[in-house]
Amino acid sequence: SALEGVKTLQSLLPMCAWCKNVRDDAGYWGRVEDYLTHHTGRTMTHSMCPACLSKYCVNHDNEDKTTY
């Protein structure tokens, strides 16, 4: 039971509720993309989900929204 609690705490990633930066094990804050790249070896890319496209790009046309 106690070991399971420790595993849960170790799996938490502190994230700022406003800017979405994350705190690493050394206590430094940085971009979530950088953290994930460092810990997974994967390169991040950015796109726009359909909900944000509708919210922030009011003049978008009816193209396939999954390509943004």
Over residues 15-30, mean pLDDT = 92
pTM for this prediction: 0.56
SS3 12: coil
Which tokens hold the place of 46? 């950015």
Over residues 38-55, mean pLDDT = 88
| Confidence tier at 45 by pLDDT (50, 70, 90) | confident
Please choose, from the candidates 38, 35, 45, the residue with its C-alpha nearest in 3D space to the C-alpha of residue 15. Answer: 35
Is the pLDDT at 4 greater than 70, yes or no?
A: no
DSSP annotation string for 13-55: --B-TTT--EE-TTS-EE-HHHHHHHHH-PPP-----HHHHHH
Please choose, from the candidates 35, 41, 45, 39, the residue with its C-alpha nearest in 3D space to the C-alpha of residue 14. Answer: 35
